[in-house]
């Protein structure tokens, strides 16, 4: 739950001068790259669970490793998004995120119904994405104004998550998970709407934003399911 990243979400000026064909191209490339980015995530998560490489990353140490790695990768993606290196850097980032996710997945797999919980979280996240994508395609209103309010909410959420790393409150974890699902679902709608509206013209940046939305919704939903529905042997 300490993995609340919001640096990539900023209110962009809408590019209404961009042609409809270009917008569709950005949307199409974003969806393809988003699907591709899930593969390194799965590989990283599998490697992390199989080797236990992230099990020692607890508390403050895990938080520091995550923050340095994630923000370092995001800085690199921002610098390379207009070059041929952009896609490989993004895919390396998603592999890293999979590794960071492996500790939570390993804990959930420790439950008797762990595999079912993971599949439920996956299905729930896919459902959220489908609903938000459907809404983004029919809503005519400009949603760019949501960005600043969501940013405030995400920053408050991140501070609460960092505090809870050291407090270790189960109730706090549940509250943060519920709030994160709501905030990043709304972010997902906003980010999906920006592409056809011309607010996002770079498919790598668009993929990064949507990937983080999906990652946070999945992680939060999985943590919530583990707390509420995990069955011990």
Question: Is residue 127 one of the residues assigned to a domain?
Answer: yes
Question: Is residue 123 one of the residues assigned to a domain?
Answer: yes
* Contact predicate 4/220, CB 8 Å: no
Note the pLDDT of residue 17.
55
Per-residue pLDDT of the chain (233 residues; tens, 9 = 90+): 444 444 444 433 444 556 778 888 998 999 999 999 999 999 999 999 999 888 777 767 778 888 899 999 999 999 999 998 999 999 999 999 999 999 999 999 988 888 999 999 999 999 999 999 999 888 888 777 787 888 898 899 888 888 888 887 888 889 999 999 999 999 999 999 888 877 788 999 999 999 999 999 999 999 999 988 776 76
Q: Whole-prediction pTM value?
A: 0.87
- Report the distance separating Cα 222 and Cα 216, nearest Å: 10
Question: Is residue 163 one of the residues assigned to a domain?
Answer: yes
Question: Is residue 11 one of the residues assigned to a domain?
Answer: no
Question: Is residue 14 one of the residues assigned to a domain?
Answer: no
Total number of domains constituting the chain: 1
- Count CB atoms within 10 A of the CB of residue 142: 12
Question: Is residue 115 one of the residues assigned to a domain?
Answer: yes
Residue 108 belongs to domain spanning? 20-229
Note the pLDDT of residue 108.
92
Question: Is residue 196 one of the residues assigned to a domain?
Answer: yes
Long-range contacts of 76-84 (CB under 8 A, 24+ apart): 77/204, 77/205, 77/208, 78/205, 81/202, 81/204, 81/205, 82/202
Question: Is residue 188 one of the residues assigned to a domain?
Answer: yes
Note the pLDDT of residue 144.
74
């Amino acid at each position: 739950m300490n993995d609340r990243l919001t640096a990539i979400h900023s209110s962009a000026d809408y590019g209404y001068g961009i042609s409809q064909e270009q917008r569709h191209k950005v949307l199409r490339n974003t969806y393809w790259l988003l699907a591709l980015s899930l593969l390194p995530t799965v590989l990283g998560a599998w490697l992390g669970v199989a080797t236990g490489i992230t099990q020692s990353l607890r508390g403050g140490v895990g938080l520091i490793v995550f923050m340095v790695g994630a923000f370092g990768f995001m800085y690199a993606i921002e610098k390379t998004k207009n070059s041929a290196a952009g896609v490989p850097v993004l895919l390396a980032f998603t592999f890293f995120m999979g590794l960071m996710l492996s500790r939570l997945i390993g804990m959930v797999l420790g439950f008797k119904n762990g595999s079912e919980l993971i599949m439920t979280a996956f299905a729930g996240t896919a459902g959220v994405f489908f609903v938000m994508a459907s809404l983004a395609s029919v809503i005519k209103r400009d949603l760019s104004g949501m960005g600043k309010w969501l940013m405030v909410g995400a920053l408050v959420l991140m501070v609460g998550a960092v505090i809870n790393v050291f407090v270790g409150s189960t109730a706090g974890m549940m509250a943060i998970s519920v709030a994160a699902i709501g905030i990043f679902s709304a972010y997902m709608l906003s980010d999906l709407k920006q592409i056809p509206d011309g607010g996002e013209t770079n498919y790598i940046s668009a993929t990064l934003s949507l990937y983080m939305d999906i990652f946070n919704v999945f992680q939060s939903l999985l943590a919530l399911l583990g707390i509420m529905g995990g069955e011990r042997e």
